[in-house]
């Protein structure tokens, strides 16, 4: 949790949120802000799994054997 600026208390956060939520524009703003934060988190956490940093999964030798056996019996 980020500490509030000087002169504000955690209770002030609740009061500010209530004031913003009173209008359609304020509710939209908070919803859009939350969506953008989630989208940014998704990109940040998925980055290691995409692009040039991605590493292919290696199949185990057991998996390769069962695949060959299945195709030989098929």
Confidence (pLDDT) at 24: 97
Token digits of residue 32: 């859009």
What confidence tens digit (pLDDT) does each residue in 2-57 have?
A: 887 899 988 998 999 999 999 999 999 999 999 888 887 676 776 666 666 556 66
Residue 56 DSSP code: P
Burial class (CB in 10 A: 0-12, 13-18, 19+), 33: exposed
pTM score: 0.48
* Position with higher pLDDT, 71 vs 39: 39
Residue 74 has pLDDT above 70, yes or no: no
pLDDT at 42: 73
């Amino acid at each position: 949790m980020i500490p509030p600026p000087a002169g504000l208390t955690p209770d002030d956060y609740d009061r500010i949120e209530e004031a913003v939520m009173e209008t359609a524009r304020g509710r939209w703003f908070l919803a859009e802000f939350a969506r953008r934060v989630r989208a940014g988190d998704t990109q940040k956490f998925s980055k290691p799994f995409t692009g040039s940093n991605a590493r292919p999964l290696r199949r185990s030798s057991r998996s390769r054997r069962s695949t060959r056996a299945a195709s030989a019996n098929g």
